[in-house]
């Protein structure tokens, strides 16, 4: 397994360009299942989860071109010959977002056989709300041998009220409703920008959707959808990660090709902490002259402080004077980075859903372990400011959602390199004549 070796102490200076949003690209690729015409998506991030989604679609019989040439970062997906509306455990266990194919498969093919995703490091992460919503639209759901079987001759419009706000649940049901017969009203929807981006693509494909990006979405089902071309929105979590990197390293960083309007809660919080952020058009300039002050956060659904930025923020406030309380309201087990930060010298106490971070504590480089995508990012941020060398193991977690992250960090002055697992050298035993 690859490792990162990072030597701390360099302020990040210069410009870093943000890639397309993984969490917008994944539902958009699933939306291609809803039509027999080609769907072209641009600004696709070159990350492991996108490759997993490509394999998933190809296994169903879709044709997927995926190119990352300088100009491209584009995929063309054609599902006209799709013949196997199934998502195997082998693939789903590596990426729970595979369940995003449920809604489109039932809507378009009347059947979906999808492995239950199982839990993951940060929590149980059930999909009960996805399934309840599909039943509301007339799907017959059975579960056996770890798989969900969903069937419907044709989905019928219905009224769905989510018990809890769920991002991929909203996306799954939106994609089911666009081909259902009649009208669907979905309430208590997720308002994340990635939901709105999916709806923008579906509308280009001919869907009739109102209210995406708000808590209430209205859909008028149509008989069929056409192909479309769509540019995926920038990754707000990657942008937020680099903005905190600029802050924690005491640097002066220009983060470009992002949408500051998707980062309001984070940027406001960073200003409270004492970081200078300047929003303009499609970039954010972050300037940190030290003297950070502690400040509390509570993670909430969008537009609140994003749970996907919690770990990165925790790393930052280890360098802020005073105690910060981080409350994680979305997932039940999303503090695994805390113990690794403690090993680097941080002072963090966990009490249920709250973590109390007492700063400012100097950090020292150490050998640490990545546990999930955003926890890994948090360890990289801590390593940037730690004295000496940090070795982060299992960085495949970070490769799931960050494109060429070590190149991007090196490009703005970080001392970071990737070391692959040294393959055991073949021992040549000379046969003695
Ligand atoms: C999406 O996951 C993101 N993934 C996650 O990003 C993100 O952390 C999460 O939303 C919250 O913002 C993608 O978009 C691919 P949820 P999702 O359904 O949709 C509970 C990353 O780092 N719930 O909004 O799976 C659930 O357990 C990833 O890129 C149910 O109880 O999250 C959680 O407590 C990590 N039943 C809460 O709702 C359900 O049927 C929110 O989960 C569905 C969810």
pLDDT tens figures, 346-376 = 999 999 999 999 999 999 999 999 999 999 9
Distance CA 64, CA 309 (A): 31
CA of 233 relative to ligand 1 center, distance in Å: 19
Cβ count within 10 A of residue 63: 15
CA torsion sign, 385 to 386 to 390 to 393? negative
The answer on 295 and 186 residing in a single domain is no
Q: Which atom of ligand 1 is nearest to the CA of 400?
A: 29
The predicted pLDDT at position 122 comes to: 85
Which two structure tokens, joined as six digits, stand for 182?
């009649």
Question: pLDDT digit string (tens) for 126-152?
Answer: 899 999 999 999 999 999 999 999 999
The answer on 197 and 77 residing in a single domain is yes
Q: Are 345 and 361 in contact (CB under 8 A)?
A: yes
The predicted pLDDT at position 125 comes to: 83
For residue 433, being part of any structural domain is answered with no
The answer on 271 and 248 residing in a single domain is yes
For residue 426, being part of any structural domain is answered with no
User: Tell me, what CATH number does 47's domain have?
Assistant: 3.65.10.10
For residue 430, being part of any structural domain is answered with no
User: At 153, is the pLDDT very low, low, confident or very high (cuts 50, 70, 90)?
Assistant: very high
Give the chain's domain count: 2
With pLDDT > 90 as the criterion, what percentage of the chain qualifies? 91
For residue 354, being part of any structural domain is answered with yes
Q: Which residue has the tokens 């790393």?
A: 315
The predicted pLDDT at position 318 comes to: 98
Question: pLDDT digit string (tens) for 37-82?
Answer: 999 999 999 999 999 999 999 999 999 999 877 656 999 999 999 9
User: At 429, is the pLDDT very low, low, confident or very high (cuts 50, 70, 90)?
Assistant: very low
**Known active-site residue 79:** no
Q: Which of 231, 260, 293 is the last residue of a domain?
A: 231
Question: pLDDT digit string (tens) for 400-419?
Answer: 999 999 999 999 999 999 99
The answer on 28 and 11 residing in a single domain is no
| Biggest distance spanned by C-alpha atoms of the chain | 83
Say what the pTM is.
0.95
Which residues does a 6 A CB cutoff place in the pocket of ligand 1? 23, 26, 97, 123-130, 164, 166-169, 190, 307-308, 330-331, 373-374, 401
For residue 251, being part of any structural domain is answered with yes
Q: Which atom of ligand 1 is nearest to the CA of 332?
A: 34
Question: pLDDT digit string (tens) for 276-289?
Answer: 999 999 999 999 98
Q: Which of 231, 260, 278 is the last residue of a domain?
A: 231
The predicted pLDDT at position 72 comes to: 63
Distance CA 1, CA 386 (A): 23
Question: In what side-by-side order are the strands of the sheet with 322-327?
Answer: 297-298, 322-327, 354-359, 347-351
**pLDDT exceeds 60 at position 94:** yes
**Rg of the Cα trace of the chain?**
22
For residue 425, being part of any structural domain is answered with no
CA of 168 relative to ligand 1 center, distance in Å: 6
Question: In what side-by-side order are the strands of the sheet with 415-419?
Answer: 367-369, 389-393, 3-7, 415-419
CA of 125 relative to ligand 1 center, distance in Å: 7
The answer on 193 and 334 residing in a single domain is no
Q: Are 326 and 310 in contact (CB under 8 A)?
A: yes
Closest CA to 221 of 186, 187, 177: 177
- Look up the domain containing 64 and give its range: 22-231
For residue 429, being part of any structural domain is answered with no
The answer on 405 and 268 residing in a single domain is yes
The answer on 140 and 77 residing in a single domain is yes
The answer on 225 and 90 residing in a single domain is yes
For residue 384, being part of any structural domain is answered with yes
The predicted pLDDT at position 424 comes to: 53
The answer on 175 and 55 residing in a single domain is yes
Mean pLDDT of all residues in 175-194? 98
Q: Which atom of ligand 1 is nearest to the CA of 372?
A: 22
CA of 196 relative to ligand 1 center, distance in Å: 16
Please classify residue 281 by burial: count the beta carbons closer than 10 Å to its beta carbon, then call 0-12 exposed, 13-18 middle and 19+ buried: exposed
Residues pairing with 324 in the sheet: 357
The answer on 266 and 404 residing in a single domain is yes
The answer on 241 and 124 residing in a single domain is no
Cα dist from 153 to 109, 222, 248, whole Å: 9, 15, 55
* Region class of 227: left (phi > 0), else alpha (psi between -120 and 50), else beta: beta
Question: pLDDT digit string (tens) for 293-349?
Answer: 999 999 999 999 999 999 999 999 999 999 999 999 999 999 999 999 999 999 999
Residue 135 in 3-state DSSP?
helix
Q: Are 194 and 171 in contact (CB under 8 A)?
A: yes
Mean pLDDT of all residues in 239-247? 98
Residues pairing with 368 in the sheet: 392
User: At 117, is the pLDDT very low, low, confident or very high (cuts 50, 70, 90)?
Assistant: confident
Mean pLDDT of all residues in 379-393? 98
Distance CA 412, CA 24 (A): 26
312 alpha-carbon distance from chain centroid: 14
**pLDDT exceeds 60 at position 432:** no
The answer on 82 and 8 residing in a single domain is no
Mean pLDDT of the chain: 94
- In 366-432, DSSP assigns E strands to 367-369, 389-393, 415-419
Cα dist from 391 to 113, 244, 271, 350, 366, whole Å: 41, 20, 31, 24, 6
User: At 422, is the pLDDT very low, low, confident or very high (cuts 50, 70, 90)?
Assistant: low
The predicted pLDDT at position 118 comes to: 73
Q: Which of 231, 247, 263 is the last residue of a domain?
A: 231
Residues pairing with 390 in the sheet: 6
**pLDDT exceeds 90 at position 426:** no
Residue 282 in 3-state DSSP?
coil
The predicted pLDDT at position 67 comes to: 85
């Amino acid at each position: 397994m690859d490792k990162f070796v990072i030597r701390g102490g360099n302020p990040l200076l210069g410009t870093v360009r943000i890639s397309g949003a993984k969490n917008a690209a994944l539902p958009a690729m699933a939306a291609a299942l809803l039509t027999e015409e080609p769907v072209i998506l641009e600004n696709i991030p070159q990350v492991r989860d996108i490759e997993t989604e490509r394999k998933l679609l190809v296994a169903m019989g879709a044709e997927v071109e995926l190119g990352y040439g300088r100009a491209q970062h584009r995929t063309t997906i054609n599902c006209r010959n799709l013949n196997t509306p199934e998502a195997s455990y082998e693939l789903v266990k590596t990426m729970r977002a595979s369940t995003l194919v449920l809604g489109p498969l039932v809507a378009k093919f009347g059947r979906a056989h999808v492995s239950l995703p199982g839990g993951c490091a940060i929590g149980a992460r059930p999909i009960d709300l996805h399934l309840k919503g599909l039943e509301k639209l007339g799907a017959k759901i059975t579960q056996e041998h770890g798989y969900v079987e969903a069937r419907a001759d044709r989905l019928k419009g219905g009224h769905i009220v989510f018990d809890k706000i769920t991002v991929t649940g909203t996306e799954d049901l939106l994609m089911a409703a666009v081909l259902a017969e009649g009208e669907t009203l979905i309430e208590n929807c997720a308002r994340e920008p990635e939901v709105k981006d999916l709806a923008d693509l579906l509308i280009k494909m001919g869907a009739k959707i109102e209210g995406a990006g708000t808590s209430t979405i209205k859909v008028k089902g149509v008989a069929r959808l056409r192909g479309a071309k769509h540019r995926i929105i920038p990754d707000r979590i990657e942008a937020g990660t680099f903005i905190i990197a600029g802050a924690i390293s005491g640097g002066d960083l220009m983060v470009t090709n992002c949408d500051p309007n998707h980062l309001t809660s984070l940027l406001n919080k960073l200003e409270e902490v004492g970081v200078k952020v300047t929003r303009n058009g499609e970039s954010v300039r972050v300037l940190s002259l030290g003297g950070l002050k502690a400040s509390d956060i509570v993670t909430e659904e969008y537009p609140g402080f994003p749970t996907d930025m919690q770990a990165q923020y925790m790393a930052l406030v280890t360098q802020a004077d005073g105690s910060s309380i981080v409350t994680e309201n979305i997932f039940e087990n999303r503090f695994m980075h805390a113990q690794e930060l403690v090993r680097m010298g941080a002072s963090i106490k966990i009490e249920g859903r709250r973590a109390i971070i007492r700063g400012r504590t100097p950090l020292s480089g150490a050998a640490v372990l990545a546990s999930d995508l955003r926890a890994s990012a948090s360890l990289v941020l801590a390593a940037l400011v730690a004295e000496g060398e940090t070795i982060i193991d299992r960085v495949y977690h970070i490769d799931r959602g960050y494109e060429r992250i070590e190149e991007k960090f090196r490009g703005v002055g970080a001392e970071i390199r990737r070391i692959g697992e040294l393959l055991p050298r073949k021992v040549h035993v000379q046969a003695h004549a």
